[in-house]
Structure 1
Amino acid sequence: MFRVRAIQVENGDSLLISYGQDEQPFHMLVDGGPSGSSKTLLCVLKSVLKSEGVDGQLWLEALVVTHYDLDHIQGVIELLNNTPPWLQIREVWFNGYHHHHTPSDLLGPREGDALSKLIRSRKLAWNAAYRKQENDKDGGAILQSSHAVSLRGGLDVRVLSPDQDGLTALARHWTNPVLPPPEPESAPGDLLGRGDTWPPKNFFFNGGATFVSDTSVPNRSSIALLLTFDKKRVLLAADAFCDVIKRGLAIHLPNQEPIDLLKVSHHGSKGNTDKSLVDVLRCKKYLISTSGKTHKHPDHALIERLVAPRNEPEIIFNYAQGWPGEWQNILTNWPSFKVRYPEGGNKFVDVSL
């Protein structure tokens, strides 16, 4: 088994990765969506517990928080504030304040944002797989390198983003160790695709416009992971920058082996996935996590870039309603592609590899 469930957490991300034997697989949770997501998240986890739990408990090999944007982190804070006894967490992966700053910048081990305090108060293993020294209780920074981690059950994990420049930029931005900086104001509407209307205009091979990269400092610090199990590869791009991901891929896949599933960066924003990344990935399955309510994601230009290779890709959404649901309508003058949505009233879309 190697599967990804993209849970419905409105405009945010929450992904449950399961791998191993069908009867008793291993699990990893990546992000928890915005505030108010924990109820849905726990409902999904409890359903997994019934069929895949061990001795009445569900173990997460890693709980990954990709970056501190509210639509990724708040649901995790809610989950850790009210963790049910049947949910066990072996390790948390999250780049906290002290992972971005030099020791002289730190005010002491008790300083930290809400998530950092929860990790410490619950005595959870923190970035343990990235420790530089055995007695480093808060682990090392998670960043792009040639290092690979193997989790129990045989899932290989490689970090594609952030790079050191991304962590350095965040350190300049995150100046108060007690509180992460506020989310930046939204980019102009046309950059985020809010000017898109339905139906899309005629197909443009390059997405209809010159690529303009995301400039968000938090997104630049996103943890993007390349997961490999049973010769299948999944790229979880969080909200990361495509240039950083391409440099990470060059380290770990120098022969440009194809990716079997891409969780598209930044909910399908056209500022995080360019044509050259799509070409490098040679992927035919794309997963987009968003309700589309806040930013009208995915952008038309992003979908154009995914279908431009004309290899009839499958685009998988975790919401069938609203803006994502429009893509099931047949488009004239566009390359052929398939769409898939959640089935049977599920609060997630399930992708098996």
Structure 2
Amino acid sequence: MTKSVFRMHVLAAGHGDCLWVDYGDPDAPTRILVDAGTAGTFSRVKAALDKVRCGIPSHELLLITHIDADHIAGTLNVVEDGVLASQFKEFWFNGRDHLAQAAKLQSLGAVQGERLTAALKKLPGRWNTAFGGGPIMMPAAGSPPVKQVGAATVTVLGPRPAELAALLPVWTQEIKAAGLKNKVAAAKPKQIRPGWQSFGVTNVNKLANEAVTTDTAPANGSSISTIVEFQDVRLLLGADAHPDTLLDGIKRLSPQSPLKVAVWKLPHHGSAANVTDDLLAAVDAKTVVFSSNGAHFSHPDKIAVARVIRRYRQTGVHLVFNYKTKHNQIWESPALQSKWNYTTQYGSGLNGVSVHLI
């Protein structure tokens, strides 16, 4: 009997996310695509989709986590292309109609979110159907929702109703200000925390102890974070989720002990504002994945990587980066790896990197 496969390919998606997950029969796997990165990622996504196109949909699901441009811009091109869109049985995405309240917006993709909504409305019966057409969220109390996707289950850890409630009016404000034109606001420059870059990189503890304000951006808070589980093996996908939201979902699943996962794609590309010690303590992971080329925001933060290394020093951890950049190549140091009990793996050029769970 052919052994099943469960793997994730982290595409080279600029400073964004594009995650290709497949599982089951290696010759005919079930596939899920999570986001499609920046606009520049589209050509690579299209090429990958073209390779597996067939007479039936090649993918069970396209999960669009939230409206930030580094997650949605490439996705928009996929959904607006009728041929490519036909490769997906279902789309999960929280559009403006799924939101209830809003506050200050720090998203860059509200206009694209509106265009995506229009495109999805042209695909009846395939948008959030697993949720009765309603919002994809974890309830304010109780167990996270679990949905069957092929032979795997997908558990939704966030957002909660409050995070979705924080987005609607500002989404509306953004599209009104843009006049519904296809444009994206310029990214704000990264605010460097005074002095953090002066810490010796070998001083992992000092880096890990650096205080950082946690993420409060409403768009990130609306991220759909999930667990994909196949044959009792778990893949945790953090999207750009706020650490308290993700921690709440994890604690609801495993209140007494850390949640055991094979692979964890960290939230927000390894931003220190999203990777907290409390969150790390709630998860036992063998492999931790960082998705970013470091453009715009220099992700992953050295502070976040140091926290991961320190958290898993006793058990060891494998760090996977889909690019090798000036921001992350320091962790390749043999001396650091020996001292802190971790290993590294880097993507090559624009090829991204693959992680096998089984």
TM-score by length of structure 1 reads 0.84
User: Partners of 2:279 and 2:84 in 1: how far apart?
Assistant: 42
Alpha carbons 2:46, 2:84 under 8 Å: kept: no
Q: Residue 223 and residue 327 in structure 1: after superposition, are their counterparts in 2 closer, same or farther (change >3 A)?
A: same
* Aligned with residue 342 of structure 1, among 344, 347, 351: 347
- Which digits, 9 at most, give the CA deviation of each residue in 1:115-136, with x for residues without a partner? 00011124361111111xxxxx
How does 1:1-353 map onto structure 2 within 5 Å?
1-47=5-51, 49=52, 55=54, 59-84=58-83, 88-101=87-100, 113-123=114-124, 125-131=126-132, 139-145=133-139, 146-176=143-173, 186=188, 188-191=190-193, 196=197, 200-204=201-205, 207-255=208-256, 256-309=258-311, 310=313, 311-332=315-336, 335-342=340-347, 347-353=351-357
Residue 62 of structure 1, CA deviation: 1.1
Structure 2, unpaired ranges of 5+: 102-112, 179-183
Q: Secondary structure at the match of 2:50?
A: helix
- Which digits, 9 at most, give the CA deviation of each residue in 1:90-144, with x for residues without a partner? 1110100010038xxxxxxxxx81000011124361111111xxxxxxx111111
How large is the Cα RMSD of the aligned pairs? 2.8
Q: Secondary structure at the match of 2:201?
A: coil
More helix by share: 2
User: Partners of 1:253 and 1:269 in 2: how far apart?
Assistant: 24
- What code does the residue aligned with 2:347 have? P
User: Partners of 2:225 and 2:87 in 1: how far apart?
Assistant: 24
Judge which range, 167-176 or 295-304, deviates more.
167-176
Residue 348 of structure 1, CA deviation: 2.1
User: Partners of 2:212 and 2:195 in 1: how far apart?
Assistant: 16
Judge which range, 156-165 or 74-83, deviates more.
74-83
Alpha carbons 1:56, 1:86 under 8 Å: kept: no
User: Partners of 2:222 and 2:147 in 1: how far apart?
Assistant: 23
Residue 36 of structure 1, CA deviation: 1.9
User: Partners of 1:140 and 1:98 in 2: how far apart?
Assistant: 9
Alpha carbons 1:269, 1:297 under 8 Å: kept: yes
Q: Secondary structure at the match of 2:340?
A: coil
Alpha carbons 2:12, 2:350 under 8 Å: kept: no
Residue 269 of structure 1, CA deviation: 0.5
Alpha carbons 2:251, 2:282 under 8 Å: kept: no
Residue 323 of structure 1, CA deviation: 2.4
User: Partners of 1:331 and 1:57 in 2: how far apart?
Assistant: 50
User: Partners of 1:246 and 1:59 in 2: how far apart?
Assistant: 33
- What code does the residue aligned with 1:272 have? N
User: Partners of 1:177 and 1:115 in 2: how far apart?
Assistant: 15
User: Partners of 1:204 and 1:63 in 2: how far apart?
Assistant: 39
Q: Residue 228 and residue 13 in structure 1: after superposition, are their counterparts in 2 closer, same or farther (change >3 A)?
A: same
User: Partners of 2:283 and 2:92 in 1: how far apart?
Assistant: 25
- What code does the residue aligned with 2:157 have? L
Q: Residue 161 and residue 179 in structure 1: after superposition, are their counterparts in 2 closer, same or farther (change >3 A)?
A: farther
- What code does the residue aligned with 1:150 have? K
Q: Secondary structure at the match of 2:127?
A: coil
Residue 57 of structure 1, CA deviation: 5.2
Alignment size in residue pairs: 330
User: Partners of 1:18 and 1:40 in 2: how far apart?
Assistant: 17
User: Partners of 1:183 and 1:167 in 2: how far apart?
Assistant: 21
Q: Residue 254 and residue 37 in structure 1: after superposition, are their counterparts in 2 closer, same or farther (change >3 A)?
A: same
Q: Residue 241 and residue 157 in structure 1: after superposition, are their counterparts in 2 closer, same or farther (change >3 A)?
A: same
Share of identical aligned residues, percent?
28
Residue 76 of structure 1, CA deviation: 0.6
Alpha carbons 2:239, 2:268 under 8 Å: kept: yes
Q: Residue 341 and residue 177 in structure 1: after superposition, are their counterparts in 2 closer, same or farther (change >3 A)?
A: closer
User: Partners of 2:288 and 2:123 in 1: how far apart?
Assistant: 36
Alpha carbons 1:173, 1:217 under 8 Å: kept: no
Q: Secondary structure at the match of 1:95?
A: coil
User: Partners of 1:222 and 1:187 in 2: how far apart?
Assistant: 22
Alpha carbons 1:6, 1:318 under 8 Å: kept: yes
